[in-house]
Structure 1
Amino acid sequence: MSLEPMTASPAVGDFQLLSEHEEQTPGTFFGGKAVLHLHSPGANLKILQEELESQPQLHALRYSDSGSQDGEQVVIENIDVWVTSRSLTLWSASKSTGVQIPYQTITVHAQEGSSVYLYLNLSDANTADEDLVFVQLRIEPTTIEAHEAPTEDSAHWQPNGHGSESPAQALFKAISDCQELNPDPPEEGDGEFDETAPGATGWITSDNMQDFLDENGEFRMPEGVTVVGAEDEVAETEALGEGAGRTRTAAEVDGADGVEDEAKWQRTG
């Protein structure tokens, strides 16, 4: 999964604020505005020189007259970070360009002091192991922008409800929350058969017992359920003739034993 370039500057009006989203039931769960979890303008972006050069979308964020070198890392300054429910966006106002990072590409993220570390996998699902492409980013937020007014009953209000968290802590939490909203898509073959579903493997458990009982509490086989080996049992029963495979009552057993004993006496008498 690759990075997605942007040419239009993000604006607060493009999103629904998190506080508004949490206070109401959405009219639809499809479409609509993305939810803005955090906005951090003026952040610093650190990336290895060779990885920056290999990714045109990220390289486009670097302004020729800005940025500095920190060992092998390039520091790109004045990056606006938008953490939304759909993607993590990095925008360079000086270059009027940006990039959207799908949450599925973030394989590892952690807080490192005043920065948030991201380990991105930019390869497709079918890419061979030796051809996988990884990129390491470090985002150092300097401030969290407030886009909402404090409520009357919140005397200790902080921007975006982050309280006493540092900018790095707030950014890490926002990315974590949005990652949970965007789980990885199922791999090929997933979803065809769920072994964890009650009764999926053929076992009768407390979770699916009610499916095998009738209104009188008697055992029954649900419609459409195939019993493994049932076809073989039916074929064997038909080959053996009438009565094969049928459970006899006690009276039938006693009667049959009496006839059998009498037949033996006649033959041996």
Structure 2
Amino acid sequence: MPPTTIRTAPADDTFTSLAEHQAQTPSTFYNAKPVLHYKKNGIRAIASVDQISKLPILAPAESGDAATTVQTLDVWISSENLTLFNPTLSTGLSIPYPSISLHAIQRLPDPSATDTSSAEALIQGLYMQLDLSDPNTFSSSNDTSEDDDPTVELTLLTTPSSSETPAQAIQAMFDAVSNCSNLHPDPTFDDDEEMQDAGGDSRIVFEGSVGYEGISGLPGVQQGSGDGGLPPPFPGSGGWITAENVGEYFDEEGNWIKDGHKIMFRFTL
């Protein structure tokens, strides 16, 4: 699901506070309110001027030669998504966590400082790479240009409260994004679908078959055939082994019998 543009700021009663969530056992895990890990108004956001058109939460840049724009946003970091809202524009962006391809604490010059060359002018911000594309829409790399790149970069700057240092303030926002992102792992291809596409199935069978494809990282383990059968040398691949016919496959010592000859069968994992 791609990021969604919203026109109304989230209401406080649409969330469960983190403190309340941690203090009680939820009566149900379904249809519960998102847990609010972090909220703060008046956070500065820094973005490149050439990316303003991709972010509806940013107002058009004023005339000038500045390469970046600094605008004020309100931020909600919940277990469901990251919401950035520009109260001046009455426009926000609800961002699913899989759309945050990268986030990190960045050290950068304070945009409000008059002398950005001094060490004192360096501050910390939450740097994010956002993928604004729809994961359900396929596009060929040959059909896209640099202007169509759905990735944007955004840095958030927060002001510490009276009880915290600047480092603690940015760490709190970083931790909130990290913890909520962990609740939404990146989508991956299903192993069963990959094996079916390759003409096999997801069952694991063992060594002893020449001509069957092995499974990487599992020595001696091979992929089943697409028709649902086992590799021919495996016991029982020609039919079920039952109490009545087990003597046709194994002797009294447990050795597999193949064409009247005993074969020592070894499982390797």
Asked if 1:115 corresponds to 2:122, the answer is: no
Per-residue CA deviations over 1:133-159 (Å, capped at 9, x if unaligned) read: 2100111122469xxxxxxxxxxxx7x
Q: CA deviation at 1:63?
A: 7.4
2:236 and 2:168 mapped to 1: Cα distance?
Answer: 67
Q: CA deviation at 1:71?
A: 3.7
Per-residue CA deviations over 1:215-261 (Å, capped at 9, x if unaligned) read: xxxxxxxxxx9643256656xxxxxxxx9767489xxxxxxxxxxxx
Contact preservation (8 Å) 1:87, 1:100:
yes
Contact preservation (8 Å) 2:52, 2:58:
no
For the pair shown, the structure with the greater C-alpha radius of gyration is: 1
Q: CA deviation at 1:6?
A: 1.0
Which residue of 128, 135, 138 corresponds with 2:140? Answer: 128
With over 3 angstroms needed to count, the CA separation of the structure-2 counterparts of 1:138 and 1:15, relative to structure 1, is same
1:127 and 1:31 mapped to 2: Cα distance?
Answer: 34
Q: CA deviation at 1:2?
A: 2.8
Q: Which amino acid aligns with 1:59?
A: P
Identify which of structures 1 and 2 has the higher relative contact order when contacts are C-alpha pairs closer than 8 Å and 6+ apart: 1
Q: How does 1:3-42 map to 2 (within 5 A)?
A: 3-42=3-42
Q: How does 1:141-152 map to 2 (within 5 A)?
A: 141-143=158-160
The DSSP-based 3-state class of the residue aligned with 2:31 is coil
Q: CA deviation at 1:52?
A: 1.2
With over 3 angstroms needed to count, the CA separation of the structure-2 counterparts of 1:108 and 1:228, relative to structure 1, is same
1:164 and 1:172 mapped to 2: Cα distance?
Answer: 12
Contact preservation (8 Å) 2:229, 2:237:
no
Which residue of 182, 185, 189 corresponds with 2:184? Answer: 182
The residue number in structure 2 matching 1:138 is 155
1:32 and 1:127 mapped to 2: Cα distance?
Answer: 36
Q: Which amino acid aligns with 2:129?
A: Y
The residue number in structure 1 matching 2:78 is 84
The DSSP-based 3-state class of the residue aligned with 2:231 is coil
Contact preservation (8 Å) 1:41, 1:144:
no
Q: Which amino acid aligns with 2:68?
A: Q
Q: Which amino acid aligns with 2:59?
A: R
- Give the aligned length: 196
The DSSP-based 3-state class of the residue aligned with 2:51 is helix
Asked if 1:94 corresponds to 2:88, the answer is: yes
**Structure with more strand by fraction:** 2
Report the TM-score, using the length of structure 1 for normalisation.
Answer: 0.61
Where does the alignment leave 5 or more consecutive residues of structure 2 unmatched? 108-123, 196-201, 208-227, 240-246, 254-269
The residue number in structure 2 matching 1:202 is 205
Deviates more, 1:14-23 or 1:131-140: 131-140
Q: CA deviation at 1:200?
A: 4.5
2:40 and 2:161 mapped to 1: Cα distance?
Answer: 5
With over 3 angstroms needed to count, the CA separation of the structure-2 counterparts of 1:68 and 1:184, relative to structure 1, is farther
The DSSP-based 3-state class of the residue aligned with 2:50 is helix
Q: Percent identity?
A: 30
**Structure with more helix by fraction:** 1
The DSSP-based 3-state class of the residue aligned with 1:8 is coil
2:83 and 2:250 mapped to 1: Cα distance?
Answer: 70
The alignment's C-alpha RMSD in Å is 3.6
Q: Which amino acid aligns with 2:156?
A: I
Where does the alignment leave 5 or more consecutive residues of structure 1 unmatched? 146-157, 205-224, 235-242, 250-269
1:52 and 1:116 mapped to 2: Cα distance?
Answer: 18
Per-residue CA deviations over 1:157-176 (Å, capped at 9, x if unaligned) read: x7xxx899522111111000
Asked if 1:59 corresponds to 2:62, the answer is: no
With over 3 angstroms needed to count, the CA separation of the structure-2 counterparts of 1:8 and 1:61, relative to structure 1, is same
Q: Which amino acid aligns with 2:134?
A: D
